[in-house]
Amino acid sequence: MQTQNLKTPLIVISTIIFTLALFRLLPHWPNVSPVAAMALFGGAYFADKRIAFIVPFVALFLSDLFLGLHNSMIFVYAGFGLTVAIGFLLKDRITLTNTAFAVVVASAVFFLLTNLGAWMMSGLYVKSAEGLMQAYIAGIPFFQNSLLGNLGYAAVIFGGYYLLQKNVVGLKQPVVK
């Protein structure tokens, strides 16, 4: 019975993350996607850190296979990994304020890393401090959309999972072991 109780949250949390990855394949506003939300969610709810990285990364990679691969993906994946790590900080502290703060921090980290990657890898910008600033300035509209999407998706999945935990017996455990 205990094994079944541990499998239910694992399956539900994994399903939520893979479903979010599918949302990336649907038409959406530029950069309004569930990427940060699924990374934070995995980091916050999987107690096993390996699973917290593996499940969201596999979901991200599978969706990237459909969306296309590019030369600055290392920066995207580094930002994604740091977002999972930020999710670890939410464990046992999931509140509206803490989650919103984590989303904002994760969004800022992701913005800084991915625009650094665009500056370094794209050839669109001069390799100077001025070129780096141009990359960051050019990314501001995408950051605004990303933050909007991250906040929206995080609200839905963290709030939805909270409601599931209150109403589904097998999910009453706060984290998956």
Q: What is the pLDDT of residues 117-172, one digit of tens each?
A: 999 998 889 999 999 999 999 999 999 999 999 999 999 999 999 998 888 777 76
For residue 162, what are its two tokens? Answer: 């909270």
Which pair of tokens denotes residue 115? 């625009």
Q: Which backbone phi and psi does 70 adopt, to 5 degrees?
A: -145, 170
- The sign of the torsion formed by the CA atoms of 25, 26, 28, 33 equals negative
Q: Is the pLDDT of residue 2 over 70?
A: no
Phi, psi dihedral angles at 10 (to 5 degrees): -60, -45
Give the residue-averaged pLDDT of 79-84: 95
**C-alpha neighbours within 13 Å on the C-beta side of residue 48:** 13
